[in-house]
Copies of this chain bind each other. A is one copy, B any other.
């Protein structure tokens, strides 16, 4: 192709026909490599390469000159080839994984439409759609009214809740900062997500002012200890303002007892935030929603449909019970260039000032489309099935030697140690724990290098490295779970 000279304004720099041809070819590669091969159990989950080698293979360097289309298409292929196949039925590494095709279509459409969720004028469809999706999710929480926002992740949702709780108590913080305020304290459990601490640091509250409430063996916050810690904090001259509890902890999948925690919050007049990033989806299930009994008493709920509902990254909401426009009051800056007040339509539709972001991606469409396609019952089915998966895995583990559960799972996280043959019956040995701690990392290394599957491990408190498998992907079947168990045995049998 002849490059048009830049001084010539009669032709645009981009040619649609060529561009669309390229996009078609790329789409074919994506379907073939990511969606077909990438979900085929005969193919690897990952193609492990050392970083130096991978960098060479990818030829990452950015240069002066462009490349022919053929080479760029080859790059699309390479990126797919060496990336982890998170939709593969044997990817159990994270709380996302799997693919929903309706959602994926919604994601492609969002990308192509490339708009910004700040004003009705640029995003008429999505302003209304986001409101509807938030309404639908709030209904499941038990609220007929309220507010909310899609955020770039559960961490952000948690941080926003913290900011709102602080503002409700001391609206002057917005203009004056923290200096004229007493020391503020936040309460959460040691098994809550690390974003609570990160948020406290970012908001200028300080991580030391996040007070950790004791948990029971199953990882649930103990309301009595919460009450005591609040009293203690008050007696030290601090002002408790927020309890951030968790519905579905990251590792163990524990649900804090919301109703009893709400009682404590009522007593002390504290904002109750529920981090349901992971567990929120149980609200779709008649059978399992009791795990979040009391959630309607919360002031705010964070929930990530990109996790269990397979809506795709990122899809995360902050839901609020508030009906006083707190979100806008707390976050607004009234930028005149964007939120003009003399528009010809109802400017309450311009919700952008509720967010701390300016550009904000459209994250509602994919969830809406998927929800439309399979209905609440389809989503409920996914949740219920994930519980069945967990049950199946647990039953099978009990039948096999070498699998030791941390405890009966409450949710779809199955946490277990694999005890290799050489360690079985040696629980009393002084070096048992230190030897056991080394097992999971070795098995993990082997599975990654062979590419057969992926699952995560971690220590927790005084419990040494154990595996956590979350079995919610709607692409998983029994064969994959059996494979998982066999493969752990195979990879660990000589340890």
Known contacts A208-B176, A356-B198, A441-B342, A6 near B385 by CB under 8 Å:
yes
**Is A462's beta carbon under 8 Å from chain B?**
no
Residues of B within 8 A of A208 (CB): 175-177
Name A77-114 residues within 8 Å CB distance of B.
79-80, 82-84, 86-87, 89, 93-94, 96, 98-102, 104-109, 111-114
Of B3, B194, B337, which one neighbours A468 at CB under 8 angstroms? B337
Chain A 299-313 near chain B by CB (<8 Å), digits 1 or 0: 000001010000011
On whether the beta carbons of B123 and A84 are closer than 8 Å, the reply is yes
Known contacts A66-B375, A72-B372, A388-B6, A101 near B22 by CB under 8 Å:
yes
Stretch of A397-405, A420-428, A450-458 on the interface side: A450-458
Name A229-246 residues within 8 Å CB distance of B.
none
Interface size on A, residues (CB 8 A): 185
Known contacts A357-B153, A389-B9, A177 near B183 by CB under 8 Å:
yes
On whether the beta carbons of A369 and B75 are closer than 8 Å, the reply is yes
Known contacts A377-B66, A381-B6, A441-B342, A456 near B206 by CB under 8 Å:
no
**Is A325's beta carbon under 8 Å from chain B?**
no
**Is A155's beta carbon under 8 Å from chain B?**
yes
Residues of B within 8 A of A314 (CB): 359, 361
A447, chain B: closest CB distance, angstroms:
11
Known contacts A374-B66, A377-B65, A114 near B312 by CB under 8 Å:
yes
**Is A212's beta carbon under 8 Å from chain B?**
no
On whether the beta carbons of A49 and B202 are closer than 8 Å, the reply is no
Known contacts A64-B375, A333-B197, A369-B72, A30 near B202 by CB under 8 Å:
no
Can you list 24 pairs linking A and B with CB atoms under 8 Å apart? A9-B478, A12-B476, A13-B475, A16-B39, A16-B475, A22-B102, A23-B35, A27-B108, A51-B345, A58-B128, A62-B133, A67-B375, A72-B373, A79-B125, A83-B123, A86-B114, A114-B313, A122-B454, A159-B356, A174-B207, A178-B205, A179-B179, A204-B204, A340-B457
Bound CA–CA A330/B204 (angstroms): 12
On whether the beta carbons of B125 and A176 are closer than 8 Å, the reply is no
On whether the beta carbons of B115 and A86 are closer than 8 Å, the reply is yes
On whether the beta carbons of A177 and B204 are closer than 8 Å, the reply is yes
A26-B109, A64-B377, A83-B126 known, 15 other contacts, Cβ within 8 Å = A13-B382, A19-B101, A51-B127, A51-B128, A51-B345, A62-B376, A66-B374, A66-B378, A72-B373, A83-B123, A83-B125, A153-B358, A163-B202, A202-B356, A337-B468
Residues of B within 8 A of A296 (CB): none
On whether the beta carbons of B381 and A108 are closer than 8 Å, the reply is no
Q: Whose C-beta in chain B lies nearest to the C-beta of A346?
A: B51
A18, chain B: closest CB distance, angstroms:
8
Name A459-490 residues within 8 Å CB distance of B.
459-460, 465, 468, 473-479, 481
Of B60, B96, B107, B132, which one neighbours A116 at CB under 8 angstroms? B96
**Is A31's beta carbon under 8 Å from chain B?**
yes
Chain A 183-200 near chain B by CB (<8 Å), digits 1 or 0: 100000000011101111
Closest 7 CB pairs of A and B: A204-B204, A177-B206, A19-B101, A26-B105, A152-B152, A13-B474, A66-B375
A255, chain B: closest CB distance, angstroms:
18
Chain A 440-451 near chain B by CB (<8 Å), digits 1 or 0: 010011001000
Bound CA–CA A373/B156 (angstroms): 34
